[in-house]
Chain A
């Protein structure tokens, strides 16, 4: 699990809503419901969902439960098929050449723009079916009693995906603990006005 790595990248969140005990108890069921679905035998470009933090292949939490001490742990697994641009270029050229030969037999000397686009889609799909998805894992640690969530990623696209999928799964909203929200969290809503109207500091006279 990435969180045990010597060097960890981390983003912090808190849950905006009040989290009921019932919801906490239903975390394991919701994780199952929104678990990762394998795309090895399809041509899908991308798939993501929750898996066991201890084992990326365990989407049923057979290996271990999500509870570890006071924490709920799981991981966002993201599998992506990538086709090298050079590979696509080559196979598209092969397909275009073939198409042109066929067209010549019918006395035509060109391929329409629409047909080119269609061919590109077909080639992409064919290559995708032949390439293996690349898996990635990002750990999620939910310290429920303290209403804190740690996500082992600082890539904004992955973070956005995580935030949305977390909301879809638990019907809760995550607030990233960036400088402003962390300060609000520490000082309480009363400090909002002060924090919102700060002027930048000029450290040199």
Chain B
């Protein structure tokens, strides 16, 4: 194709992708604008595209008016604990299911994987009761508990270990390392890409999850950010710019992480297809 024509068609493609990308980004940009406006500016019929004075104090108000810090802390704890637990438990189980022989392996694996086909509503009521009986309503333990275990993660890690050549273990054995050592220093490093996919999806899912925290936590200070924001949604006493600032701050950690690790996040999620 002649260079001039090619440049022209590229311009068209940039136009389409640019406009599409702008639509994708618009709500975030608009949210930033609103978070820096006054309540009156947000509620004016002709939109205020740029606030007269940037209201940075809206961000300070998030911490003063809402129990934001404790909610943020809850979200961080839930996410960190679940992600670490999933990595440890799913890697161990995935390894055993992929490369070890034991009685009942196929049945147990089938049982774990069958959960993948079940929508979360099918266990929610009963999970709620278990947590209630344990006296864990409105506690971190209650919010965290079911999400420590992941069928998806087990599936992911099993696939990763299945794809390794048997020679790897054999070589380690000949070098005289025991099962634990082989697992830890020979096999784990090789499946690191899958572990990072597991970590990414655990973080995302944990941070954003709404339904479960909403049913087990009713006390504002014990809620993670997702449930807190959703509960505030219908509350007319909340100042809109402060609400916008709060929801931006709630998304910020994930969005920053995403932008820093974009390639890995996008490729990891796209190849695994969670959610």
Q: Are chains A and B native binding partners rather than an unrelated pairing?
A: no
Q: Which of B's residues lie within 8 Å of A, judged by CB?
A: none
